[in-house]
Structure 1
Amino acid sequence: MARKMHETPMLDELESGPWPSFVTGLKRLAREKDYVNDVLGTLETSYRTKKGYWKGGTVGVFGYGGGVIPRFTELKDENDKPVFPDAAEFHTLRVQPPPGMHYNSDVLRKMCDIWERHGSGLIAFHGQSGDIMFQGAKSDKVQDAFDELNELGFDLGGAGPAVRTSMSCVGAARCEQSCYDEARAHRTVINTFTDDIHRPALPYKFKFKFSGCPNDCMNSIQRADMAVIGTWRDNIRTDEEMARKWFAKHGMNELVNDVVTRCPTKAIMLKEVKDVRTGPKISSVRVNETHALEIDNGDCVRCMHCINVMTGALAHGTDTGATILVGGKRTLKIGDLMGTVVVPFLPLKNDEDYEALVDLGQRVIDFFAENALEHERTGEMIERIGLVNFLEGVGVEIDAHMVSTPRTNPYVRTDGWDEEVARINAKKAA
């Protein structure tokens, strides 16, 4: 049994609302662990003084240059002794999750047992980069905890200026919207760059994220230096039976207001059956005896809205693969950036496709390592040096799909116009 609990009037307020509070969980752990009791004391002090009292340092495990986030207390008394001695150290282990974040209950129980023995018992599934966050361990317990987690089959994730832990959606394992094998892509890439994860040697962090469809459940376009997002390049598929069932349940108003009018490129039209067009880029499906949806796939930008609303009645095409974007990030030196398309379509069907994905990742990381400034993300580097220079540096041909904003200057040079047209036509014919 732990010693008497610290008084925490300010933290107690966080338990008074209608929602579950993390404070309740910490108090439950604190009843058995003096360690967590002193963590609560430190946190209460921070709330009262409006200051943080943790500083970094150097803590690690043998053979690794990252993966552990050191935290030492700065809350000292007049004799330079920790005010809360049992929580003088509160290190976090970042542990890589399996692709798709698939676990069984046996593994989860073993993780909990390991952390009860060696740490605070506090685990977060998952951190912002996807890591399992084993929060709260003393320096002399970090190696022991890692050894047992490693024996269980898990490895440390990235920290510092390194390739970071990757995330992938549940994808092909359970989701009908999946357009490629996310787990295979995730494992293939991470296994290749394991050394770059464990031994920080980059200007700053570099993240891969894998989403199986344009819904982008991993938020990769916003947060990944290299985002792999599933897509398709043929026509949307339709199922008349399911479309009729959907229409019978939801009606004309919802079809018009929540499907047709919300298409961002007006690719969907509601027509009388007799007026529906046919053609290589047209998908259509009847919703009743008199009306049908007509989709011009040439205008479709794969936003997924119609498919999400009418799942089953509409579905992505069969010629699937992934779009690769580079440069997404949150605010740092400049504001938030979305990823920029560098490969409009990669099939990801065979070994050669996955090798091409890894090869592109290697070229991007190498270019980033050589050309980025310290503490600069990939997107910021591209903003500084220009997209054209980046594409030339990584050996990617410029493509119209990479244009983010149409030019506002009406003047254009036509030097080499005929040669460029011939090159583009040859590329299309290939």
Structure 2
Amino acid sequence: MKQNIPEKGAVVQRDRETYAIKVHMPGGFTTPQALRTVADVAERHEIPTVKVTIAQRIALIGIPEEKIDAVRADLGDLEDGATGLCIRYVKMCPGATWCKRGQQVTYDLGMEMDNKFHRLQVPWKFKMAVSGCPNDCTEVCIRDLGLIGTTKGWNIMLGGNGGSRPRFSSLLLENVPTESEALAALEKVVAWTQSLDKKCRIGKVVEELGIDAIREEIFGM
């Protein structure tokens, strides 16, 4: 029975014969040229299914194993989506740049988060998001770590997840006033996460230790 091929970013599908490769699009933002490349690759290799994923990536689904290397080569500089025990992605909403409900600008901060954190190794899979207002369209409430914009700055949320035992994230810091301070706080949280020896989603750690104890450990507050 075939298995995932993580070094090639290939995830085996339900038929246990074909694979999916995900193209990383930071925050779901892309270019016409990148989309043309994906379309050309899908047609050239007769890939039967192309899907925009919940993680704001594009998945090419139904690739025979013998075509994986050729597909990856033809995708050129397009980065594949992260898999395994790492920070998988940073979801982003349009934010105040485009959305009439946005209270904070998400684009620059979200891209900086993607540059800093995407693919970083952590003890267990880890997902991040940034929302420009409390409507929380990127569902920070069920991400391991994320930011929610407010009229006063950024709320930093920790320990959410979906899955068979969903958990809402907990408020770690409230109304952090600037993007730079919010990013610095995220860096501290990620470094703390990397130091853990627990093989579980971070929400379970929050439940075991308590959000107040974690805040004290990371920030001395």
- TM-score normalised by structure 2 residue count: 0.87
Give the whole-Å Cα distance in 2 for the aligned partners of 1:195 and 1:124.
21
Residue identity in the other structure for 1:144: A
Unaligned runs of 5+ in 2: none
Please name the residue that 2:19 is paired with.
Answer: 91
1:210-243 deviation digits (Å, cap 9, x = unpaired): 111111111121x21112111113xxxxxxxxxx
Give the whole-Å Cα distance in 2 for the aligned partners of 1:59 and 1:388.
36
Compute the displacement of 1:182 (Å). 0.8
Residue identity in the other structure for 1:157: G
Give the whole-Å Cα distance in 2 for the aligned partners of 1:396 and 1:183.
30
Residue identity in the other structure for 2:92: S
Which runs of structure 1 show a deviation greater than 6 angstroms over 4 or more consecutive aligned residues?
none
2:98 to 156, 161, 174: 174
1:161 to 70, 85, 91: 85
The SS at the match of 2:81 is: coil
Compute the displacement of 1:383 (Å). 0.5
Please name the residue that 2:206 is paired with.
Answer: 382
Please name the residue that 2:217 is paired with.
Answer: 393
8 Å CA contact 2:24–2:57 kept in 1: the answer is yes
Give the number of the structure with larger relative contact order, counting CA–CA contacts within 8 Å between residues 6 or more apart: 2
8 Å CA contact 1:96–1:157 kept in 2: the answer is yes
- Output aligned runs, 1:141-160, within 5 Å: 141-151=67-77, 154-160=78-84
The SS at the match of 1:160 is: coil
Distance 1:163 1:104, change over 3 A: closer
Please name the residue that 1:232 is paired with.
Answer: 151
Distance 1:134 1:380, change over 3 A: same
- Output aligned runs, 1:42-121, within 5 Å: 56-58=3-5, 60-61=7-8, 67-71=9-13, 73=15, 89-99=17-27, 101-103=28-30, 105-118=32-45, 120-121=47-48
Whichever structure has more strand as a proportion of its residues is 2
Residue identity in the other structure for 1:180: Q
8 Å CA contact 2:104–2:149 kept in 1: the answer is yes
- Output aligned runs, 1:188-199, within 5 Å: 188-196=112-120
1:165-188 deviation digits (Å, cap 9, x = unpaired): 121112234212222221111110
1:329 to 158, 161, 166: 161
Identity across aligned pairs (percent)?
A: 23
Compute the displacement of 1:93 (Å). 1.1
Compute the displacement of 1:163 (Å). 0.3
Give the whole-Å Cα distance in 2 for the aligned partners of 1:73 and 1:98.
29
1:360 to 185, 206, 218: 185
Residue identity in the other structure for 2:117: F
| Length, aligned pairs only | 221
1:40-62 deviation digits (Å, cap 9, x = unpaired): xxxxxxxxxxxxxx75243533x
Give the whole-Å Cα distance in 2 for the aligned partners of 1:119 and 1:70.
17
Unaligned runs of 5+ in 1: 1-53, 62-66, 75-88, 234-320, 398-430
The SS at the match of 1:147 is: helix
Compute the displacement of 1:73 (Å). 4.7
8 Å CA contact 1:220–1:228 kept in 2: the answer is yes
Quote the RMSD (CA, aligned, Å). 2.4
Give the whole-Å Cα distance in 2 for the aligned partners of 1:343 and 1:73.
44
8 Å CA contact 2:49–2:61 kept in 1: the answer is yes
8 Å CA contact 1:372–1:378 kept in 2: the answer is no
Residue identity in the other structure for 2:216: E
Please name the residue that 2:171 is paired with.
Answer: 341
1:278-324 deviation digits (Å, cap 9, x = unpaired): xxxxxxxxxxxxxxxxxxxxxxxxxxxxxxxxxxxxxxxxxxx2211
The SS at the match of 1:165 is: strand
Larger radius of gyration: 1
Please name the residue that 1:211 is paired with.
Answer: 131
- TM-score normalised by structure 1 residue count: 0.47
Give the whole-Å Cα distance in 2 for the aligned partners of 1:69 and 1:119.
18
